[in-house]
Amino acid sequence: MMRGEEDAVRMAATRFYDAIEAMVSGKGLEAMRDAWHHTDRVTSAHPIDDFTEGWEQVWATWKVFEPFGHPDRGGTSIKNLRVHLFGDVAYTTCMFYSAPAFGGERLACTNVLHKKDGVWKVVHHHADKAPKLAAALEKIASEM
Amino acid sequence: MIDVGDGANGFSVAFDRMTQTLQVAGWGFWSSEVAGKFAPAIASAFAKQMCAAVVFDLGRLAPMRDEGQEGWCRSLRLLVGRVRKVTIATGSTLTKLQLLRLSKQFDKELALQWVELDRGGMA
């Protein structure tokens, strides 16, 4: 039972990082929307800026990134995804590698997931701060 | 002075007669209601006085939902042909990225000056 739940958490976390790759590759945010529970009790801390709280505000931050996606800008990856399970709550840790177009940085990331209505989804995401990412985004924004 | 919203999310619009500058401050994560009142408030301020410049103090403004983005674009459109100088101060990189993208369409018509603040906005 435990191994089955750990695998379910791993798949949910992987879907989250697949959604980031889809976003930076210009495929939109539908996968990212699906990766999260949509409640007031979700939080996020991107590689730039502070914590945001509540699904509407978290979603607004993801939509800031969306226009920067492009088929030539993909190339994210993760390594060492670890799952830590506590009943219907779990957290994952991994190293995330941002795409070269966005600074190519190596960031330690933590996600918290909650099993609600039988489905594991993200309720918190936290990434190391990434100055090169911010600089890359500003450069792209100035050239848009 | 126009005040909309509350301490958690809102904006204010005031006119500085000494400098003939419209001072606009925005903060928090705008609700749909607050966002919908932004452009009309800017329009109302312009209806009352001539402005030489506009300063947007958005140091505490969070990235906006769709309604806020629409309100921002509508307010910039109101400034075209009416002011010489527009200063936009931000404290959040994500907010700045959002506003940069939205404001790009007005690059030729408005002289936008961007200022980065430490968190908390202007005193």
A69-94 burial, b for 16+ CB within 10 Å, e for fewer?
beeebbebebeebebebeeeebbbeb
Mean pLDDT, all residues of chain A: 95
Kindly compute the dihedral angle of the four CA atoms of residues B116, B119, B120, B121, in this order, to the nearest 10 degrees.
Answer: 0
Per-residue pLDDT of A45-85, as tens digits, reads 999 999 999 999 999 999 999 999 999 999 999 999 999 99
Q: Cβ of B92 under 8 Å from any chain A Cβ?
A: yes
- Give CA A78 to chain center in angstroms: 11
Mean pLDDT, all residues of chain B: 92
- Give CA A18 to chain center in angstroms: 9
Average pLDDT (B36-63) is 94
Per-residue pLDDT of A95-133, as tens digits, reads 999 999 999 999 999 999 999 999 999 999 999 999 899
Which site among A29, A49, A139 would you substitute to test the B interface, given the most B Cβ atoms closer than 10 Å to its Cβ?
A49
- pLDDT exceeds cutoff 80 at B118: no
Plot region of B116 (φ>0 → left; ψ -120 to 50 → alpha; else → beta)? beta
Q: Which residues of B touch A50 (CB under 8 A)?
A: 92, 119
Taking alpha carbons only, the member of A48, A29, A51 closest to residue A130 is A48
Q: What pLDDT does B48 receive?
A: 87
Beta strand extents in chain A (DSSP E only): 43-45, 52-53, 77-86, 89-97, 106-116, 119-127
Q: Across-strand partners of B88?
A: B56, B114
What SS3 class is residue B92? coil
Per-residue tokens: A117: 């209505």
Amino acid identity at B13 = V
Q: Write the burial class of residue A97 (CB in 10 Å: 0-12 exposed, 13-18 middle, 19+ buried).
A: middle
ipTM of the complex: 0.90
Asked if B94 lies within 8 A of A46 by C-beta distance, the reply is yes
DSSP class of A44? E
Q: What is the pTM of this model?
A: 0.92
Handedness of CA A138, B74, A24, A118 (dihedral sign): positive
Q: What pLDDT does B74 receive?
A: 97
Asked if A138 lies within 8 A of B100 by C-beta distance, the reply is yes
Per-residue pLDDT of B54-110, as tens digits, reads 999 999 999 999 999 999 999 999 999 999 899 999 999 999 999 999 999 998 899
**Radius of gyration for the alpha carbons in chain B, expressed in angstroms and rounded:** 13
- pLDDT exceeds cutoff 70 at B33: yes
d(CA A63, CA A59): 6
Q: Which residues of A touch B62 (CB under 8 A)?
A: 52, 57, 60
Per-residue tokens: A97: 């590698």
- pLDDT exceeds cutoff 50 at A94: yes
The confidence band for A137, taking pLDDT boundaries of 50, 70 and 90, is: very high
- pLDDT exceeds cutoff 90 at A143: no
